[in-house]
Copies of this chain bind each other. A is one copy, B any other.
Amino acid sequence: MPLSNLKMSRRIRRTPFTDKVEFHGVTGFTVVNHTLLPKAFQHSVEEDYWHLRENVQVWDVGCQRQVQISGPDAEKLVQWITPRDLSRATPGKCLYVPLITENAGLINDPVLLKISENKFWLSIADSDVLLWVRGLALGAKLNVEINEPDVWPLAVQGPKAAQVMAEIFGPKIRAIKFFNFGWFDFEDSKQLIARSGYSKQGGFEIYLEGSKYGSRLWEAIFEAGKKYNIRPGSPNLIERIEAGLLSYGNEMTLEDNPLECGLSQYCDFSNENDFIGKKTLSSIANQGIQRQIRGIRFRGEPMEACSIPWPVTSKKTKTVIGKITSGIYSPRLNTNIGLSMIKSDHWDPGTEVRVHTNKSTFQDGYVCDLPFSD
C-alpha cells in the first residue's frame, strides 16, 4: 500500500487539540466524523503499544463528537434507537448502546451518557448519528432538541493514567469506577470525566466542553505527566485487536447486526422494551445467526496493519468463510492476529483457516475466541 498524503481543508474539521498534536510531530491521521483523528507520531505502532501498556498516553479523540438530545421526549427517543434496555439508566453511568435500523443493521455504536433526566449525550463512532436522530425526531414529531455541542473528548490512557489525572483533578478522580463519570473543575469550568477509553489498559476520557480550554488542558496533562513518561498516542491497533474491541466501519457496518457482532448482551427483547428494528432482530435471534465475529491467529512474517480486508478461506472446504477487517502482528502474542466475521459452519475455536494477505499468497491460521488469550 503506497503512502498517501491527506489533503487538508475546512471540511475535515480540526479539534481543539490539533495544534498541540502538530506541535508533537504527528505523522499520520485518519478522518472520523469529518474530523481529524491522529494515528501516528514518531514511534511505530509496536513501540506505542508497549509504551501504552506500561505508561500513560494522551489521545486526541475529539472526533468522538457528542449528539446531544434534550427535551420532554429525549428519553423516549433514546430508548427508541437502541435494543438496549435503558429503563435503569442513571446520570453518572456510561452505557454502550448499539444503534440499529429497522432492518437491524448497525448505524453506530456510541457510548450513552445520561447528563440529567431529560438530557443525553451520544459519544459516537464514524457516522452522522446527528442526522439519523434529527430525521427520526422530525418525522415522528418528537418534542426534542438535538445538536452537536462544543464538546471534544480527550483520552488519558494507560496504567499511570490515574496518577496523572489525580495531579490535575485531585484524588477524588480515583474513586470513579469503570464506565462511570463525574464532574470536575478545570479553571473556571466544570468538566465531565469518565473512566473509559478505547483500550483495555485503563484510563479516562475528559469530555472537554469549550474549545477555548483545549490547549491549556493539553498542557496541564503533559506537565503533570512528565514524570510518568507521558506521550501523545492514539487508539492502538495491536492493543485494540488483542482486546477484541470492534470498530464501526471496520468490523461493524449497516450490513451487520448486533448479534453477529457479539453484542447480544445489549439486546433486550422483553415486552416492555420497544425499539427500532425489534421485529427484525427478534426474528434473527429466533432463527439463529449465520455468522459471528471471531479472532483469527495466523502465521507468516509479521504483518503491517490490514488496510484492505484479507479474505479467509476454510483449509478443509477451500471456500470463503470470512474476511479480516482489522489485522496486525502482535509482538506479545508472537503471532499475526485479526478480527473477522466467520460463517457458522467454521466458527468453532480451532477451525483451520487460510488468510489471504494478498492475491498470490496465504498463511495458515485458526479461529479463536475473543479477546485473544495469552
Nearest-neighbour CB distance to chain B for A224, whole angstroms, equals 27
Chain B nearest CB: distance from A367 CB in Å? Answer: 20
Contact A107 B136 (CB under 8 A): no
In the complex, residue of chain B having the shortest beta-carbon distance to the beta carbon of A133: B135
Among the stretches A22-30, A88-96, A164-172, A193-201, the one at the interface with B is A22-30
Residue A315 at the B interface, CB < 8 A?
Answer: no
Interface of A is mostly: loop
- Counting every copy of the chain, the complex holds 2
A134 to chain B, nearest CB (A): 7
Contacts of A11 in B (CB 8 A): 30, 126, 247-250
Name the B residues within 8 Å of A276 (CB-CB): 138
**What B residues does A134 contact at CB under 8 A?**
101, 132, 135
> Could you tell me the distance in whole angstroms from the C-beta of A5 to the nearest C-beta in chain B?
4
Q: Which of A110-118, A153-161, A301-309 contacts B (4 or more CB under 8 A)?
A: A301-309
A34 touches which one: B7, B126, B133, B136 (CB < 8 A)? B126
Q: Assess whether A131 is interfacial by the CB under 8 Å rule.
A: yes
**A6–B30 contact, CB under 8 A?**
yes
A68 → B minimal CB distance (Å): 14
Chain B residues with CB under 8 Å of A136's CB are 135-136, 138-139
Question: Please, how many angstroms separate the alpha-carbon atoms of A307 and B137 in the complex?
Answer: 35
CB distance from A3 to the nearest CB of B (A): 5
Contact with B along A2-19 (1 / 0, CB 8 A): 111111111110100000
Chain B residues whose C-beta falls within 8 Å of the C-beta of A140 in the assembled complex? 138-140
Instruction: Quote the shortest CB–CB distance from A59 to chain B (angstroms).
Output: 14
**Are the C-beta atoms of B22 and A6 separated by less than 8 Å?**
no
Complex contacts, A223 vs chain B, CB 8 Å: none
A354 close to B (CB within 8 Å)? no
The contact of A5 among B8, B29, B107, B249, by CB within 8 Å, is B29
Asked if A309 and B40 make an inter-chain contact with CB atoms under 8 angstroms apart, the answer reads: no
Residue of B nearest to A128 (CB): B128
Query: CA separation between A22 and B3, bound complex, in Å?
Result: 10
Instruction: Check: A102 CB closer than 8 A to any chain B CB.
Output: yes
Q: Does A39 touch B at the CB level, under 8 Å?
A: yes
Interface: A129 (CB within 8 A): yes
Query: What's the least CB distance linking A235 to chain B, in Å?
Result: 11
A144-155 interface code vs B (CB 8 A; 1 in, 0 out): 000000000000
Nearest neighbor of A247 in chain B, beta-carbon distance: B11
The verdict on A325 contacting chain B, using a C-beta distance below 8 Å, is: yes
- Are B308 and A10 closer than 8 Å at their CB atoms? yes
| Distance, CA A107 to CA B148, complexed state (A) | 14
Question: B7, B9, B101, B249: which contacts A29 (Cβ < 8 A)?
Answer: B7
Q: Is A82 an interface residue (CB 8 A)?
A: no
Q: Assess the B39–A7 pair: CB atoms within 8 A.
A: yes
Q: Which of A18-59 contact B (CB under 8 A)?
A: 22, 26-31, 34, 39-40
Closest to A131 in B: B132
Contact in complex: B126, A40 (CB < 8 Å) = no
Q: Which chain A residues have a beta carbon within 8 Å of chain B's beta carbons?
A: 1-12, 14, 22, 26-31, 34, 39-40, 101-102, 107, 126-129, 131-142, 247-250, 276, 305-309, 325-326
Q: Can you identify 24 A-B contacts, CB atoms within 8 angstroms?
A: A2-B26, A4-B5, A4-B8, A4-B26, A4-B28, A6-B6, A6-B29, A9-B249, A9-B250, A10-B308, A11-B30, A11-B247, A14-B308, A34-B126, A129-B131, A131-B132, A131-B135, A132-B135, A135-B135, A135-B138, A138-B139, A138-B140, A138-B276, A139-B142
